[in-house]
Structure 1
Amino acid sequence: MKKFTKALIPAALFAASFATHAETSEGNVLAVSAGWAHIMPQGTKQGVSTQLGSTGPYLPFTPSAGFELKDSDTAEFKFDYLVDDNVSLGLIVGVPPTFDIKGKGQLLGGALNLDKFSKVGDVKVYSPVVTGKYTFGAVNNRLRPYVGAGLMYAHFSNFKLDSAVVSDTASKGFSIRNVKIDDAVAPVAFIGADYNITKNWFATASVSYVHLSTHAKLDVTSNATGATLVTGRSKIEINPIVTYLGVGYRF
């Protein structure tokens, strides 16, 4: 909840700024663009810690195991409030992309070999971003590069365990249950450029980096008794590079 509150503070400031009624020298106050984002996680496995039952002693840390997210694509929408000719405050939202999660290494003394699965599951991510941006050059320049930074709130939802993992674990008498991936707040930095097609229409492209990581928890339960055999925890490093290409209009 605290993370969510912190993420909303810039959004509240963004909304409040409309009261100033600032605009560019050409009278525009809002720029909206829609386009396609390609998301490329750069993180690597971070190891897995396991605990007997849900309250028992911890077993030796397994540094060779872990989880990584694969690339994904989604439609993205950007809204920028133009404070003046160069400064803008923005909000980025998109259709929540689904990421395949690849497992690495062996767990439970080799009983669960994550390497043999193309993925262990998938998860949907809701990740709005509030931004501040500085655009170089004059309003009437054809090409205008920009730099910016912001804050992302990432919510992980609808995790689904892959059917191949379900079948493999069932054949060995246990199941993976209660998978939870924590929400996270992460800083964002980006560079890009707008190309003015007309006074109001423009094309835009950007590259962003998000310093994002989270933590996951799961239970391994006995199919015979339903008891929790092992609780596993792992940091998931994501750190995506995001490319965006879109078309926009200034109002």
Structure 2
Amino acid sequence: MPRNSAMKNAFPKKLFSIATAVALCSTASLAQADTSDGKRWAVSAGWLHIMPQSDAQGVTGGTTAQAPLLGERALSYPQAGFEVQNTNTAGLIVDYLVDDNLSIELVIGLPPKMNLSGKGQIVLPSPIEGHAPITAANLDKFDKIATNDAYTPTVLGKYHFGTIQSPVRPYVGAGLMYAHFANIKADRGVNAELNNDPLLALLNLKLGPIKVEDAVAPVIIAGMDFAINHSWFASASVSYAHLSTEAELEIFGKTALSADAPTGVILRGKSDIEVNPLVTNLGVGMRF
């Protein structure tokens, strides 16, 4: 995926400052305000297009003391790693309107299926002096090396410009996202790739479970509501979450070069995964 650092830094600092102030003011105003038409709630459903601003962050780890011939060695691959691909999902957005201008929003929806592509190569030193290093895995072969379901409930404080009667109402906001990653599955071709080298094939290597840490991320949002009538509206927004996490994995194999050798952890690795999603939303909702 092409690097997109310019897009990551494109959100104006003023927008972030205003949106953060809105989140704080919304809570303070909750108990002492009302809407001019008495409608406190807005619920909308729509389509979310998720565009991670993702770059490979390197892989670190090493072989363990159980690894035949190689022994325990620390290894680092700064050019390798994983990138998250674009995806889509359906979203449900619930707003509680504190007054005509301030609201508190909860964003939930169907957990999107996130696909990770591999970048770089995992190379092991040869156990035979003078021989070329062993390529344990060429991650570039995998456009989809793993998948997971991402649960990302988000709470935002928003400031809406204009009045309840305005046909078009821009808004800005800020809040927090909680990200939980589940159902993590590696491509079936990973185990075949790990045993592609004849020497490593003697160990019958197999990828163990992949663990991805939960994470909390700040979020900013800007959008517009378009009045259809007094109750119904259409909405469009773009948001950005500064989200990253860490994945850990273990590779199992024979701990000796014999047919009846026990199985143990041969390699361990971990990698930061940069997500940083830019999310567009198009939806239709109702105020009541």
TM-score clears 0.5 = yes
Task: Trace 1:15-54 onto structure 2 (pairs within 5 A).
Answer: 20=31, 22-53=33-64
Which of residues 137, 140, 143 is equivalent to 2:162?
Answer: 137
> Which of 140, 162, 168 lines up with 1:115 in the alignment?
140
Q: Which residue of the other structure, out of 88, 98, 119, is the alignment partner of 1:104?
A: 119
Partner of 1:199 in structure 2? 230
Calculate the TM-score normalised by the size of structure 1.
Answer: 0.88
What is the CA-CA distance between 1:225 and the residue it aligns to? Answer: 3.2
1:198-237 to structure 2, matched below 5 A, reads 198-222=229-253, 225-237=262-274
Q: CA-to-partner distance for each residue in 1:61-83, whole Å, 9 max, x for gaps? A: 21110011101100001100000
Aligned to 1:239: 276
Cα distance in 1 for residues equivalent to 2:100 and 2:65: 57
The CA deviation at 1:54 is: 8.2
User: Are 1:49 and 1:58, in contact at CA under 8 Å, matched by a contact in 2?
Assistant: no
Name the structure 2 match of 1:4.
Answer: none
Identity of aligned residues (%): 48
Name the counterpart of 1:174: 205
Structure ID, larger Rg = 2
After superposing on structure 2, the runs of 4+ consecutive aligned residues of structure 1 that deviate more than 4 Å are 16-19, 54-58
Structure 2 segments unaligned to the other structure (5+ residues): 1-23, 125-134, 255-260
TM-score normalised by structure 2 residue count: 0.77
Structure 1: tracts of 5 or more residues without a match: 1-12
- Asked whether 1:95 is paired with 2:120, we answer no
1:117-155 per-residue CA deviation (whole Å, 9 max, x = no partner) reads: 221110000000011000000110100000001100000
Count matched residues: 237
CA contact (8 A) 2:64 2:73 kept: no
Question: Residue by residue, what CA displacement relative to the aligned partner does 1:182-238 show, whole Å, maximum 9, x if unpaired?
Answer: 000000001000000001100000000000000000001105632111110110011
d(CA) in 1 for partners of 2:158 and 2:72? 49
Q: Label 1:241 to 1:19 Cα distance change in 2 as closer, same or farther (>3 A).
A: closer
Structure 1 distance, partners of 2:65, 2:235, is 50
* C-alpha distance after superposition, 1:98-122 (max 9, x if no partner): 1111010011432200001221110
> RMSD over aligned Cα, in angstroms?
2.2
Moved more, 168-177 or 61-70: 168-177
- Asked if the contact 2:136–2:195 (Cα under 8 Å) also holds between the matched residues in 1, the reply is no
